[in-house]
Chains A and B, each alone.
Chain A
């Protein structure tokens, strides 16, 4: 699986020399390599310009990257802060088994962090030499954002395009509120778009044999194809999570590829319940009509889905 692109915003270590400054002491962590910087958009990567987002982040908007930037100014290195402190912060927790903490504490003290070149910590620093915090290079063509642009330019880039992909869970508004406003958009709206209608539309998806159901936001998808590939990812998690290198059998005996086959093939079908309470096959009506009328979905065995298709078409025809 590919690493989601949205981690891009954390930035890459090969930032411009002007930001490095000379304040880094070499006595602490290898800060040059591990210091996380925010890469600035507009300085290279075509990926950023296109606004490509990773699917499983449900539309993390790269438009947001435009507003994340490094503010210049003297920054104290992380190790400076620690070394300069009393050192007591390692045991800032109360009481407990001091001895145990003392033992483990070495790993967490700055020297420990610096010294352990192996294990998770060292691995982190090492990784940072290529890309801080990432295991694989994020930009396909290896282009790296360079020097920061002045703030003024940032402002012009802040004007977002009209149709913006949404971040999951942002702004932080509860589902109940979102759903309440979405079903009855504000009346005195100049904009014909029906603004809260561009909110989200969570529907439950159950799968025969899966231990619990999932929720998807239909607003995240523009077509049946996008929806279906998202569902494949979501439900293959049930099956491959337990399989894999440990050889633990999965809950319902499916493997990932077999699940894809099943979804594409004939053993399972994707169905949905519409506003009238009828169960229909997904895919028979235009996408917009589907998102409007879908109340919930179910991945059911084909044997149970007999007779659904004709009803869907009839309904569609009778509505039009």
Chain B
């Protein structure tokens, strides 16, 4: 066996390995023998770092010397909901500096929830001569000046390609001016994907038109709200090959000429499969997209404040729809219509139009979701905001859709019981985890006791991510999850009565997970110190803006806790409100 392995030249093995792209498989390959380890590490081109603090840039570079594509994630997920104070961390700067030196051939950078500055963007634009893809998802810290640097530096070399993808997905960008778009050189023609939907300011429209017109490979164009509807038709006519489009504001005075121009432009886009945008929708203009509805596989109407009848008319024509994001204006009746027309639906997200109002404002209840679960046999992924739920409905949904892999239910009022029986929703969620054996992601809400966690620990064997809020009664709940969910990688908890016991009892489990977040629970500083001392491969970060935890009794609950496994030790960029414990059992301030 050893002899046979040696008889293959390295190039042959490398070629074989090139067919294996999945990270887990490549990790497995690297453990076979030293020779495979060596070949694999030199040929690994893509690295995914799920927590930028789990490893240092130098360690990645040392192991994989020739990476072309990197993906990094920074802040914990609850940062999306303002639970992580500003300044916590997630700075990409050290990664960019290290990679600028070590990976001159880097082509792709994908960041999520990280802080990136204009200087970092400038360094990216100057350091990587073959740079192709920049995706900044929920990032912050930069302005349109940084974008100008990216645009300006994608020059056209003889043999090198230029920037293909610039995607600012929901990032927070400081809008200094819309002129950054003008920095794309006139001979730049390689753009394939541009997503600027999150930008507030008006971009220079003429520059945009020219850019769109000269890039024949443009597949994805997501405009921002500031692009008016009457300009859309011209853009579409310059890019009839578009596959994904995000409109700007979808409103204008109702004028027949504008309408027919727009309708004609849409009809010309024979490849269009995905639509989004639709801010400020004037319903009269919706029929302009009817000609292409039958080809749509993705429709994001989650900013479209239109009412159920208009929504039904639109969605009713999208027989090939696989992904639908919509506001609760669709109502139960609308979801019934979706269940009848969209038999290929895989993913549904229903967002609340009035999350802070005390009373329901639309007739959207658990019934809509039940209908979808009955009518759409391929439904796998659900995010649903509503105001009432029953165990019966959850059980029906679970039985209908055992193929569900992502189930996130948000009952808006915390602690809401089954509205029919006034019981907790334990058995309903229990049915979900019992029937949906491949469930990977679950978010709970409503009135829940420790029993739901017992179900989860017992049945949710494939669960990788769990989000919990305002649930449970005792440490037993947390213990069930930590001891039962074998595949758990991310656990995020807020406002639950979980304390030290389950955490300390399952300390070893934490090293098998990416991270644990607990805020407004009952964990004491004493327990955190203990964990930090005993578990050197965990970073135990106490986030508390009330000042040093030492100023309060050790048994006083801390505000927020973020624990993650790491081989890089404590990080160096902690702000003043983050406390961590090292092995010397001395409390270390940032």
Q: Is B474 touching A64 in the complex (CB atoms < 8 A)?
A: no
Is A23 in the interface zone, CB < 8 Å from B? no
Kindly name the residue among B511, B548, B557, B575 whose own CB sees the greatest number of chain A CB atoms within 10 A.
Answer: B557
Nearest-neighbor residue (CB-CB) of B80 within chain A: A174
Question: Is A166's CB within 8 Å of the partner chain B?
Answer: yes
Q: For the complex, give the distance between the alpha carbons of A234 and B82 in Å.
A: 15
- The smallest C-beta distance from A216 to any residue of chain B, in angstroms, reads 10
| Chain B neighbourhood of A306, CB < 8 A | none
Give B547-564 as 1s and 0s: 1 = Cβ < 8 Å from A's Cβ atoms: 110111111110000000
**In the bound complex, do residue A92 and residue B546 qualify as a contact, i.e. CB atoms below 8 Å apart?**
no
Q: Which residue of A lies closest to B505 (CB)?
A: A108
Interface centre among B82, B424, B512, by most chain A C-beta atoms within 10 angstroms, is: B82
Tell me the chain B residues, 475-520 only, with Cβ under 8 Å from chain A: 475-476, 479, 482-483, 494-495, 497, 499-502, 504-512, 520
A21 at the interface (CB under 8 A from B): no
- Chain B contacts with A in 554-590, Cβ cutoff 8 A: 554-557, 575-577, 589-590
Residues B81 and A184 in contact, CB atoms below 8 Å apart: no
Tell me, rounded to whole Å, the shortest Cβ–Cβ distance linking A205 to chain B.
9
Q: Is B385 a contact partner of A171 (Cβ separation < 8 A)? A: yes
Please state if A89 and B355 are interface contacts (CB–CB under 8 Å): no
- How far apart are the CA atoms of A170 and B495 in the complex, in Å? 11
Within 8 A of A (CB), among B421-439: 422-424
Q: Are B501 and A132 in contact (CB under 8 A)?
A: no
Which A residues touch B590, using CB under 8 A? 241
Distance in Å from the Cβ of A65 to the closest Cβ of chain B? 9
A78 within 8 A of B: yes
B83, B329, B497, B499 interface centre (most CB from chain A within 10 Å): B497
Q: Are B527 and A56 in contact (CB under 8 A)?
A: no
Q: Is B354 an interface residue (CB 8 A)?
A: yes
Stretch of B104-112, B183-191, B302-310 that contacts chain A: B302-310
Complex Cα distance, B537 from A266, in Å, reads 49
Bound complex: CA A91 to CA B145 (Å): 51
* A319 close to B (CB within 8 Å): no
Q: Does A198 count as interface, using CB distance less than 8 angstroms?
A: yes
> Which one, B501, B512, B557, contacts A134 given CB within 8 A?
B557
Nearest-Cβ distance from residue B428 to partner chain A, whole angstroms: 14
Instruction: Give the residue of A169, A174, A217 whose beta carbon is less than 8 angstroms from that of B494.
Output: A169
Whose C-beta in chain B lies nearest to the C-beta of A193?
B357
* Most B Cβ at <10 Å: residue of A76, A96, A174: A174
- The count of chain A contact residues (Cβ–Cβ below 8 Å) is 106
**Out of A184, A213, A237, which one reaches B547, CB within 8 Å?**
A237
Chain A 85-127 against B: per-residue CB contact (8 Å), 1 yes, 0 no?
Answer: 1000111111010000100110111100100000111011011
Provide the residues of chain B in CB contact with A10, threshold 8 Å.
Answer: 497, 522
Residues of chain B within 8 A of A242, CB atoms compared: 576, 589
Is the Cβ of B506 less than 8 Å from the Cβ of A89? yes
B575 near A64 with CB under 8 A, answer: no
User: Of B280, B351, B507, B527, which contacts A120 at CB under 8 A?
Assistant: B527
B416 interface residue (CB < 8 Å to A): yes
Shortest CB-to-CB span from B538 to chain A, Å, is 11
Q: In whole angstroms, how far apart are the Cα atoms of A67 and B445 in the complex?
A: 12
Tell whether B248 is near chain A: CB-to-CB under 8 Å: no
Q: Please report the C-alpha to C-alpha distance between residue A202 and residue B80 in the assembled complex, in whole angstroms.
A: 13
Do A93 and B511 form a contact, CB below 8 Å, given A171-B352, A211-B575?
A: yes
Convert A1-41 into 0s and 1s, putting 1 for each residue whose CB lies closer than 8 angstroms to a CB of B: 10100110111000000000000000001000011111000
Residue ID in chain A nearest B79 by CB atoms: A169
Q: Is the CB of A135 within 8 A of B556?
A: yes
Residue B449 is within 8 A (CB to CB) of chain A in the complex: yes
Chain B, 18-47, contact with A by CB distance < 8 Å: what is the 0/1 string? 000000000000000000000000000000
Task: Give the contact stretch, choosing among B58-66, B146-154, B233-241, B407-415.
Answer: B407-415
- Which chain B residue lies CB-closest to A103? B534
What is the CB-to-nearest-CB distance from B210 to chain A, in angstroms, rounded to a whole number?
28
Report Cα–Cα, A164/B576, bound state, in Å: 32
Q: Kindly provide the distance from the CB of A72 to the nearest chain B CB, expressed in whole angstroms.
A: 10
Separation of A212 and B476 alpha carbons in the complex (Å): 39
- Kindly specify which of A244-252, A257-265, A268-276, A281-289 makes contact with the partner chain: A244-252
Q: Is A175 an interface position by the 8 A CB rule?
A: yes
* In the complex, residue of chain B having the shortest beta-carbon distance to the beta carbon of A34: B501
Known interface pairs A155-B422, A161-B358, A171-B352. Does A212 touch B87 (Cβ–Cβ under 8 Å)?
Answer: yes
B78 on the A face (CB < 8 A): yes
Bound state CA distance, A154 and B415, in angstroms? 11
Across chains A and B, which 7 residue pairs bring their CB atoms closest together, nearest first? A120-B526, A241-B576, A67-B415, A169-B81, A93-B508, A127-B555, A135-B553
Q: Using a CB–CB distance below 8 Å, which chain B residues touch chain A?
A: 78, 80-83, 85-87, 138, 170, 172, 198, 225, 279-280, 302-303, 305, 307, 329, 351-358, 361, 385, 410, 412-417, 422-424, 443, 447, 449-450, 467, 469-470, 473-476, 479, 482-483, 494-495, 497, 499-502, 504-512, 520, 522, 524-527, 529-530, 534-535, 537, 545-548, 550-557, 575-577, 589-590
28 A-B contact pairs sorted by A residue (CB < 8 Å)? A1-B546, A68-B414, A68-B447, A68-B470, A69-B447, A75-B450, A75-B476, A81-B476, A81-B479, A82-B505, A89-B506, A94-B512, A104-B507, A120-B525, A123-B553, A124-B555, A133-B497, A133-B522, A162-B358, A167-B414, A167-B495, A168-B83, A174-B170, A177-B303, A180-B225, A196-B356, A241-B589, A245-B551
Other 14 A-B pairs with CB < 8 A, given A242-B589, A245-B551: A3-B556, A34-B501, A81-B476, A93-B512, A108-B506, A127-B555, A133-B557, A154-B422, A158-B413, A158-B416, A168-B83, A174-B81, A191-B357, A195-B357
